[in-house]
Structure 1
Amino acid sequence: MGSSRKLQGEIDRVVQEGVDVYDSIWNKVYDTDNAKQKEKFEADLKKEIKKLQRYRDQFKTWIQSG
């Protein structure tokens, strides 16, 4: 029981951090008028999405393994 709470806490923490980073980059994309900066931020946003997708896959593995 304690280990599942610990796992859930870890998942919640990682997800919240990922969402915070994503939101920060999202705001940068739409706050800039510079095309080159916008492209850079969009690339950063894509990287963050891929990172969050990897986390999702890791969470699925953790949950399945118990």
Structure 2
Amino acid sequence: MPKFKVVVWCDHCLNDAEGCFGGGTETIGSSFETWEDAQKAASEYCGHLPYGYRVEEDDEY
């Protein structure tokens, strides 16, 4: 059964080496058992911040 990860980035700092996440993306937390768990974590983490995110299958599992 696949696990999921959350990839986040800052829309304002994308491609700015001195910005959030070095201008790139970052994976938050660890792997999540379900897509819903990952989505909930992303919403809680990004809800009050100017971050975009996507939930992806974690290829490491």
Query: Normalising by structure 1, what TM-score?
Result: 0.29
The structure whose Rg is larger is 1
The structure showing larger relative contact order (alpha-carbon pairs under 8 Å, at least 6 residues apart) is 2
Query: Normalising by structure 2, what TM-score?
Result: 0.30
